[in-house]
Amino acid sequence: MPDKQTPKGNKKTDSLEQHVEDSQGQFLTTNQGVKVNDDQNSLKAGERGPSLLEDFILREKITHFDHERIPERVVHARGSGAHGVFRVAEDLSKLTKAKFLTDTSAETPVFVRFSTVAGSRGSTDLARDVRGFAVKFYTEEGNFDLVGNNMPVFFIQDAIKFPDLIHAVKPEPYNEIPQAASAHDTFWDFISNTPESAHMIMWLMSDRAIPRSYRMMEGFGVHTFRLVNAEGRSSFVKFHWKPLLGVHSVAWDEAQNISGKDPDFHRRDLWEAIENGDFPQWQLALQIVPEEDEHKFEFDLLDPTKIIPEEIVPVRRVGTLTL
């Protein structure tokens, strides 16, 4: 039988091939590599007797089964992901020396994960919640992670408050209610004592908060990042993802109705769109501030509870992400 042929890609795609599993011509083995010809019948004491613990294949199989469930994440447990590619539309070498942002002929493999924050892994897709928008670029120079949300600001200025924020937004401790919902007593207790969260609350409680589809949702790096070019010159940058389908949301009553009928609504929408060839696309956009202009604003550029108004620093679209 001829060897399986795989299309040639760039160097990074080729390097990922070593992690692709191909079981052709392989034998079933234990975890220690001992060949197994039967993993369907355990050793027994006699023809009809009980299974014997001396059967190491049985012990290994049951032990593996008992440890299959990895505890879900504390936040962003509910998520949906897809593979795709990113292509930069213009040479950004004046801003950065990262090849995937300077070589317009390069097509960079990516993996994108969308998620809710507060709910458990089995919760609804349409909770009133922030959405995660995380992109991993598999570049030829190494992996680059751009972790973000669908809102351009965050609740807190100092990361030491993050555990307190999450404890507050989780279900009430005495009855485990509500699930995957932010508007409840312990959360409002935290917000009322954290004035810096006011900006984020205006986003979260607005009609814009619940996306119609992951394909119709913006993404933001939230923080201010620094790009450095080959000459060592730095620029501050805010990352944006702009959906080509535009930004669309659902109102609260509509979200509740959809949740009752299809809690997998966003996951299903993403899956079916890709299966049907309607590949979701976003444009990568940047707000760029020269390093020497850092202190020309009335606010701290490094404060994640603030945005840089687009009328002051326009958004520059520089590339396309396709899933």
Residues identified as active-site: 76, 149
CB 149 within 8 A of CB 131: yes
Contact assessment for residue 192 and residue 108, using Cβ atoms and an 8 Å cutoff: no
The gap between the terminal CA atoms of the chain, to the nearest Å, is 33
Query: Six-digit token pair at 277?
Result: 């060839």
Count of residues making up the chain: 323
Q: What is the dihedral of CA 62, 23, 25, 11, to 10 degrees?
A: -140
Sequence letter at residue 242: K
* CB 181 within 8 Å of CB 118: yes
Closest CA to 125 of 218, 217, 221, 213: 213
Residue 62 has which token pair? 């049951």
Helix H segments across 195-264? 198-204, 252-261
